[in-house]
Amino acid sequence: MKQRLHFQVLQRDPAGAARRGRLQLPHGVVQTPVFMPVGTAGTVKACDPQELQQLGYGLILGNTYHLMLRPGEQVVAAHGGLHRFMGWPGNILTDSGGYQVFSLAARRRVDDRGVEFRSHIDGSLHLLTPERAVAIQQALGVDIMMALDICPPHDAGAGEHEQACRRTTDWAERCLRARRDSAGALFGIVQGGLDLQRRRRHLEEIAALDFEGLALGGLSVGEGPEKMEEVVAALGPAMDAGRPRYLMGVGLPQDIVRAVGHGLDMFDCVVPTRNARNGQLFTWQGPLQIRHAAHREDTRPVDENCRCPACSRFSRSYLRHLYLANEILGVRLNTMHNLYFYAELMRRIRAAIERGEYSRWARDVLPGLEGRQSGQEKV
């Protein structure tokens, strides 16, 4: 069986759980902690894959739910996999489709077999089982696959959470059995809602299985940053230290900085790309709304110290104009800025761990990131 993934912890923060790692994957080495831009439908929205490389990304996320419905995994497979289909030479992780089935699809019905749902695009009926989730991800040919899980609303009752955990463990085992020898790495997902005891119990079940990585699911789904951090703080350091730890769907820069402090290694979120489309630009002094009238004749860049393709060539005034005129170039430049910011955030996070002063560094940057130090707008 091929070596699907090699993960090595290079350094640990002396004052906390943060760690600096190296993740070897079929399409190159990834330095952790790492942020993965989200490429929902076979493209990180508004980006050319060459731009993602230039920004320093080597691992992006694709959505199984979207790709199975459009264009269909067989179209992607006809190209020799998702890498070739979308012209991306780096690594790809796909989610299992479960999360989107629960958040987007209409009329879903879950039983022990899997989840039946209707496409949000054309209403067609689909059955996603653990075996099918793995088969689709294998057809996509990705580097890291995620096991099919059940993600209940954070405020679901104890019974629903217990059942979700039970099924998620059962499906996790079925996913591992369904995987071909030649396929990519497979990560298991820990559920359990906000109850720490249930979370810990489920972590034990999932960690006992032969996954190459472990993920926390069911967070950043409306529970709020404090409750999320409670779970991450309790679970992160308890996750197997020898495998990469992935916090799914998180998050804002401050969420990532905190989660790294609790020992998490991998992150993904639509925030940098989606908020870019809405004109929200991240800075170390908090986010900035480019549409505001204050920027009308401001010939300065968004951030004087930022070296992204937007800040090095264009003014706030121009970006505001593009936003108001609904120009695609505005979306492009805003997306470049935010993805550059996230890449730089992860570089600084890694450097702080390397210097052995992560906790102090995090304490210093958090007020700025949350816009608590300046006149800039809060998220």
Smaller CB distance to its own copies: residue 46 or 228? 46
Contact 190, 215 (CB under 8 A): yes
Q: For the CB of residue 287, give the shortest distance to its own copies in the complex, in Å.
A: 21
- Identify which range of 139-147, 178-186, 317-325, 363-371 contacts its own copies by CB under 8 A: 317-325
User: Could you give the residue numbers annotated as active site?
Assistant: 95, 268
Among 170, 297, 354, 377, binds its own copies (CB under 8 A): 297
Distance between CA 149 and CA 99 in Å, rounded? 8
* Contact letters for its own copies, residues 83-112 (x by CB under 8 A): --xxx-------------------------
Smaller CB distance to its own copies: residue 315 or 359? 315
Select from 210, 66, 64, 229 the least CA-distant residue to 149.
Answer: 64
Q: Which H or E run contains 35?
A: strand 34-39
Does the footprint of its own copies cover residue 183 (CB under 8 A)?
no
Does the footprint of its own copies cover residue 71 (CB under 8 A)?
yes
Among 8, 53, 278, 299, binds its own copies (CB under 8 A): 299
Q: At what angle do helices 225-235 and 253-261 cross, to 10 degrees?
A: 20
Among 25, 47, 189, 308, binds its own copies (CB under 8 A): 47
Does the footprint of its own copies cover residue 319 (CB under 8 A)?
no
Does the footprint of its own copies cover residue 322 (CB under 8 A)?
yes
Smaller CB distance to its own copies: residue 310 or 349? 310
Give residue for tokens 């979120």. 269
- Identify which range of 43-51, 105-113, 237-245, 365-373 contacts its own copies by CB under 8 A: 43-51
Q: For residue 311, give every residue at least 6 positions away whose Cβ sits within 8 Å of its Cβ, in sequence order, or none.
A: 301, 302, 303, 304, 337
* Contact letters for its own copies, residues 252-291 (x by CB under 8 A): ----------------------------------------
Q: How far is CA 221 from CA 217, 247, 251, in A?
A: 9, 12, 11
Rg for the chain (alpha carbons), in Å? 20
Written as one string, the DSSP assignment of 87-132 is T--SEEEE--SHHHHHHT-EEEEE-SS-EEEE-TTT--EEEE-HHH
Does the footprint of its own copies cover residue 359 (CB under 8 A)?
no
Contact 65, 140 (CB under 8 A): no
End-to-end CA, the chain = 47
Among 33, 42, 218, 286, binds its own copies (CB under 8 A): 42
Contact 248, 221 (CB under 8 A): no
263: left (phi over 0), alpha (psi -120 to 50) or beta: left
Select from 99, 232, 106, 96 the least CA-distant residue to 175.
Answer: 96
- Identify which range of 74-82, 135-143, 151-159, 171-179 contacts its own copies by CB under 8 A: 74-82
Q: For residue 323, give every residue at least 6 positions away whose Cβ sits within 8 Å of its Cβ, in sequence order, or none.
A: 279, 290, 291, 330, 334
Give residue for tokens 């640990």. 12
Q: How many residues bind its own copies (CB under 8 A)?
A: 36
Q: Restricting to residues 326-355, name those near its own copies by CB under 8 A.
A: 327-329, 331-333
Select from 350, 272, 372 the least CA-distant residue to 18.
Answer: 350
Does the footprint of its own copies cover residue 294 (CB under 8 A)?
no
Among 46, 147, 216, 260, binds its own copies (CB under 8 A): 46
Smaller CB distance to its own copies: residue 39 or 261? 39
Among 78, 127, 208, 241, binds its own copies (CB under 8 A): 78
Q: What DSSP state is assigned to residue 2?
A: -
Does the footprint of its own copies cover residue 75 (CB under 8 A)?
yes
Summarize as ranges the residues that interact with its own copies (CB under 8 A): 41-43, 45-48, 70-71, 74-75, 78-79, 85-87, 296-297, 299, 309, 313-315, 317-318, 320-322, 324-325, 327-329, 331-333
